[in-house]
Structure 1
Amino acid sequence: MFETLRRKTADDKDPRTRLRELATASTVTVPEHTEEWIDETPPEPVARPRLKNLRLPVVVTATVVIAACATIGILVAQPDKEVPPPLPAAVVTTNTSTATGRIVVSVVGRVPRPGLVTLPEGARVADAVHAAGGASDLDTLALNMARRLSDGEQIYVGIPPPPEAAPAPQSKPAKIDLNTATAAQLDSLPGVGAVTAQRIIDWRTERGPFTAVDQLRNIDGIGETRYSRLKDLVTVR
């Protein structure tokens, strides 16, 4: 019943009123659809500012490295300096017998071991014959067994020397060392007999080695005359 009345009321409206309502409804603004603008520009990389800041140090470092490599290349390309070889030191030659205190002589003939023998300076013919193995008394009759030897001479034992053989060189007798001489060597000195020779040996045994030739004056039996004859024939080493 109420629905019927509502419809009736609506139908009973004034036409003017109805037209006014329609005009009002037509003036309502319908919102237009607007598209949203989207920025499609790609974002700038985050690392680009950092790369810009690092560009200058990288360029400087590369320049330094290139310059160092060029310098090394120049140094390597240079030829090595030639170093002259060391020159040998000058050798001063001296007489062998004087430098070493020894001499070399040749012993040939009737000896067990003929050939070269090395002897101390001041050795005698008897020492050379003994070093060659010895010889009989008959074979040594022609030899002066007490003669002092010189470096480089040759001794003929039991055989005559060849005609072309030059006479043995005569060298100045070596001085006798008071600290090493035997009683026989001291006895061979002029004016020194067996008794005086033994006194010399006893003196150096009790007091030690001689330090000067003039100490011979302290030996009993050696006066100024005898000392003047001995001082040039003896030495102290």
Structure 2
Amino acid sequence: MWWQGRPRELVLAPEVIASGAAIPGAMNSPAAVSGQVVVHVIGAVNNPGLVELPAGSRIADAITAVGGAKTAKALGSVNLARVLIDGEQIVVGAQPGAVTGTPIDANGVLNLNSATESDYESLPGVGPVLAARIMAWRMTNGVFRSIDELGEVTGIGPSILEQIRPLVRV
């Protein structure tokens, strides 16, 4: 089967993977339980669509599974080594810093994975320095899988986390 094993070589032909947003409840999906992840790869790739890969696969594996990217131009700004999360969408070729999805829903709840620094600053107890730390955490670790992961950001203690918990989502 094509998805068993890791590709040895990445077919480079795209631009950039600007963001990935996890789908709520994806960790309980049949794919996650079976040791597989399903991701949606779109944008500047040769054959965009859904791909199923072994758990622990990387963004580079997902790009290879869709036939590679159309150009290698912007891959230097992307973490091809990041581990995939079941249910996420990989956008190849988006402008750096582009946000996919709506950061604030109709109920005023902020999506941690598509928010900007200024969106974070709208939260109680979060100023420019803390907002920058949240963005840095996202750049290093990928998407937030739970609201509790905000506690890993230096400066967000239990008090701030409890204040903002009802105002954010993943």
| TM-score (ref. length: structure 2) | 0.40
Counting strand residues as a fraction of each chain, which structure ranks higher? Answer: 2
More contact order relative to length (CA 8 Å, sep ≥ 6): 2
| TM-score (ref. length: structure 1) | 0.30
When Rg is computed on C-alpha atoms for both structures, the one with the higher figure is 1
